[in-house]
Amino acid sequence: MKKLSLVLLILVIVMMDHVYAQPTDKKNIAGIGVSYFPYMSKGIYFDSPFDFWPNNEPSAITRIFYARQMNESFRLGAYLESGSNRFTDQTNENAHSFNRSLLGLEWISEYPKTRLHLELGGYFGYGLIKASHWNDLHGVDFGMLAGPAFDMKYFGVSVNLKAGFSPYKSKGTPEGILLYTPGVLFKVYGKF
């Protein structure tokens, strides 16, 4: 009975939001976001000469972004991300870390065209991994985003589930790193 009441309450809220939704003429959004990666202990792989999956402790990744409304339900934009990872070596005794920076494109479709709506999209970026004891690694970052968003007149918030894949290569040691980055992306943005 409680589940049915909750479903009916959510249905009423969505219907009222649809009835009272006002179209917006704001075409641009800019904001910040933070990604968290719960339960990710094996989301990184080191290529030759190491060839192992270390114990991984990813930190929160910060994101700055801008997007433009291309048509009624599609946004296209750019983002800049920065974050770090801590991991242990094969013996699980020594802790190491690296920093990762990204610049990329993001696309989001929105449905329905109401204040409370769903977002589905993806991202593609170019990244750099730096660590004091390695050669720099370069690679791509790509994946998809999906989740709810709520827009007001001048600002909005969204919570997206994020699933990404990031292969990085270098001409030194290590030859490559592979990151698997599922997580939750919280975004707050202004509309203008």
pLDDT at 119 over 70: yes
pLDDT range class, residue 68, cuts 50, 70, 90: very high
Which residues are registered as beta bridge partners of 75? 69, 108
What percent of the chain clears pLDDT 90, i.e. is strictly above it?
54
Which residues are registered as beta bridge partners of 157? 150, 188
pLDDT at 125 over 70: yes
Architecture of domain 2-191: Beta Barrel (2.40)
pLDDT at 16 over 70: no
Q: What does the alpha-carbon distance between residue 145 and residue 139 come to, in Å, rounded to a whole number?
A: 20
Tokens, residue 63: 């994101």
Q: Give the start-to-end residue ranges of the domains of the chain.
A: 2-191
* pLDDT computed for residue 18 by the predictor: 56
Tokens, residue 114: 């109401």
Q: What does the alpha-carbon distance between residue 51 and residue 69 come to, in Å, rounded to a whole number?
A: 44
**Lowest-confidence range among 7-11, 59-63, 128-132?**
7-11
Q: What does the alpha-carbon distance between residue 123 and residue 117 come to, in Å, rounded to a whole number?
A: 19
The full length of the chain comes to 192
* pLDDT computed for residue 41 by the predictor: 66
Give pTM, 2 decimals: 0.81
